[in-house]
Structure 1
Amino acid sequence: MNDYIVRATAGGGQVRAFAATTGNLVEEARRHHNTSPVATAALGRLLTAGAMMGSMMKNDTDVLTLQIKGDGPIGGLTVTADAKANVKGYVEHPDVMLPPKEGKLDVGGALGIGLLNVIKDMGLKEPYVGQTILQTSEIAEDLTYYFATSEQVPSSVGLGVLMDKDNTVHCAGGFIVQVMPFVTDEVLNKLEQNIQHISSVTSMLDNGHTPEEMLGKVLEGLELEITDTMPTKFSCDCSKERIEKAIVSIGKKDIQEMIDDGEAIEVKCHFCNTSYNFDVEELKEIYKRARK
């Protein structure tokens, strides 16, 4: 199944909802970064959330960044997404291994205590920055808390990544459901009941549920209306030219030191792990373009 996001409303516009299947993009991220199972689960959950939250942005030039910094062995996660649900991300320590907790990958233990930052660059003078303390470090609950406290939008977030025995990604996906300020008690109560009784995201996906069917469970009895579907994928916009600009920005002194070493340098993109090589002659050309 191709990765995609569905957008929907329910309860006569009192609820808006998003659901995604992201197994392919999470597997692609795992291959790029050679992540351990627990790191794959953590990054996969945040990539899934990033894709759905990116699709909420209004303008094609808008960029969303999700950052988690924790005191656990993973260190941190960074994910960026655009309004077309192109998403990329990385883990600070991708090879972390932890024993399972209650039969599940211990994402909370891998991340530890820390902070969640949500940065929205919407072309204004300053980007919007929201920050909350991690509640469980399981990511879905932390985003639920973020929406309620930083954006004042009562929400329910479900995220899941299921691994195969060979440590590849079996399935991944999630949902975000948000209620409008004018929601009635009747709709809210029904939604809360549904969420209490649904099975986990991974079990729904493992049973073959599509994003539409997932929302059908979450919003059962609330007149679900699918309004839109859009593809989502792991996509990094790095290039040798962009890396060159980054080297130019470090200044002549440091570039001269690289030239004096007489060795080619290798620069890796954080987001997709692609390597770019520059020989001494290329560094000399870059030096000419540096200002300081």
Structure 2
Amino acid sequence: MSDQFIKTVTKNKYFRAYALNGTQFVREAAATHETSRLAAVVLGRGLLATTLTAQSVLKGEERLAIQINGRGPIGNVVAEADAKGSVRGYVTNPQLEPIFDADGKLDVAQAVGTNGFLQITKFAPYANPYIGQSQLVSGEIGDDFTYYLAQSEQIPSVVGVSVYMNQDDTVEVAGGFLVQALPDATDEAIDDLEAALKNMKPLADMLVAGYTPLEILEEIFGQGEVEILQVAGVGLAAEPTKAAYRDMLTTLPAEEVQAMIDEDGGAEIVGKFSGKRYFFTADELREIVIEINDKNYD
């Protein structure tokens, strides 16, 4: 089953709510980056939270990039997403050894750290990027996105994300939800939501039990209390082709490309988001130098 995202509104029009099953794309990202057990959870949570946030704040051709730097041993958590459901990301230290908390569970907060910021940059066609930033509050990622949306976007929100791992360090299930208060939400409705979130089943348990995105939201609001506005697929963004990277090389000064020939006899490009490697021979680079010079001559 492919990954699925839903956008809903509660029937009382007090809340907008999103949920997704991102098992496949988190599993693929973890395998691509050959992550350790802990790094897979951190990366997965970052991808899930970024996807949910993108779906809630973007439209059309807009996209956003997030960076979490809590000065923990995982390093930076980086992700990008667009309004169409594509996401990609990486962590600086994908082979981080396990760190456990007092209960013997993987300690995401210690891996990420809390001495830093979550920064989100929104890109829109024909407009300057908008950069928002907030202090990390827990390092658990979901809480940090919740705080960012309340502080930088002025939207009272709750973000929940979870990645559950198999014994062989592969991803079993991954998913999450995002709830945002609408302008008509009453104080009583918000209090009821807080109580429901406190008393709901653990998100990981629901995912393992096979809850659909709709069933996760109904666990919060009650069966039949949300109206589905949109159902869409989500997944990892396509990796640029070698031809696309070649186009990028043609934007460099000719002397920089020539230096790759003279010093290295070619060039290797490694995609940060995919880990894929593309090699350009000296002859291929010479063709690019000619193309750059012809373009500049024109």
TM range (shorter): over 0.9
Q: Letter of the aligned partner of 2:28 in structure 1?
A: E
Shift of 1:58: 4.9
8 Å contact kept, 1:35–1:94: yes
State the Cα RMSD in Å: 1.8
Q: 2: distance between equivalents of 1:38 and 1:6? A: 28
Q: TM-score, normalised by structure 2?
A: 0.92
- 1:83-102: CA deviations, max 9, x gaps? 11111111111111132222
TM-score w.r.t. the length of structure 1 is 0.94
1:250-261 equivalence runs, <5 A: 250-261=252-263
For the pair 1:132 / 2:134, whether they are aligned, the reply is yes
Could you tell me which residue of structure 2 aligns to residue 219 of structure 1? 221
1:11 is displaced (CA, Å) by: 4.7
The Cα shift of 1:57 comes to 4.7
- Mapped partners of 2:142, 2:71: distance in 1: 18
Stretch of structure 1 that moved more, 48-57 or 80-89: 48-57
Residue number in structure 2 paired with 1:7: 7
Q: Partner of 2:23 in structure 1?
A: 23
Tell me how far 1:168 sits from its aligned partner.
0.6
Q: How far apart in 2 are the matches of 1:93 and 1:118?
A: 21
Output the CA distance in 2 between the equivalents of 1:145 and 1:248: 42
- 1:110 equivalent in structure 2: 111
Partner of residue 178, structure 2: 176
String of CA shifts for 1:119-173, please: whole Å, max 9, x gaps. Answer: 1112242112110111111100000100110011111110000110111100000
Query: Cα distance, 1:252 vs. partner?
Result: 2.6
Residue equivalent to 1:207: 209
Q: Describe how 1:113-192 pairs up with structure 2 within 5 A.
A: 113-192=115-194
> Alpha carbons of 1:109 and 1:249: their partners in 2 closer, same or farther (altered >3 Å)?
farther
For the structure 1 residues 184 and 59, does the alpha-carbon distance in structure 2 shift closer, same or farther, using more than 3 Å as the test?
closer
Given the alignment, which residue of 235, 254, 263 partners 2:265?
263
Consecutive unaligned residues in structure 2, runs of 5 or more: none
Shift in CA distance, 59/148, structure 1 to aligned 2, threshold 3 Å? closer
Match of 1:87, SS state, is strand
Q: 2:42 aligns to what?
A: 42
The residue matched to 1:78 in structure 2 has which SS?
strand
Provide the C-alpha distance between the structure 1 equivalents of 2:50 and 2:264, rounded to a whole number of angstroms.
42
1:40-87 deviations in whole A, cap 9, x for unaligned? 111101111222222235533111111112311111011111111111
Q: Deviations over 1:12-42 (max 9, x none)?
A: 2110000011111001001111111111111
Q: Provide the rounded CA distance (Å) in 2 between the counterparts of 1:152 and 1:60.
A: 22
Q: Deviations over 1:152-208 (max 9, x none)?
A: 111111000011011110000000000012211221121111001112221110122
**CA 1:285–1:57 in structure 2 vs 1: closer, same or farther (change >3 Å)?**
farther
Q: 1:247-272, CA deviations, whole angstroms, 9 ceiling, x for partnerless residues?
A: 33442333222111353322111111
| Greater alpha carbon shift after TM alignment, 228-237 vs 175-184 | 228-237
Unaligned runs of 5+ in 1: none
User: Once the 2 structures are TM-superposed, how far is the Cα of residue 221 of structure 1 from its aligned partner?
Assistant: 7.2
> CA contact under 8 A between 1:52 and 1:85: conserved in structure 2?
no
| AA of the residue aligned to 1:76 | N
Corresponding residue for residue 93 of structure 1: 93
2:250–2:291 contact (8 Å) kept in structure 1: yes
Higher alpha-carbon deviation: 239-248 or 66-75: 239-248
User: What does residue 237 of structure 2 align with?
Assistant: 235
Q: Distance in 2 between matches of 1:207 and 1:11?
A: 26
**Aligned partners of 1:57 and 1:82 also within 8 Å:** no
**What displacement does 1:246 show?**
3.0
- Alignment correspondent of 2:32: 32
The share of aligned pairs that are identical, in percent, is 35
Q: Which moved more, 1:200-209 or 1:57-66?
A: 57-66
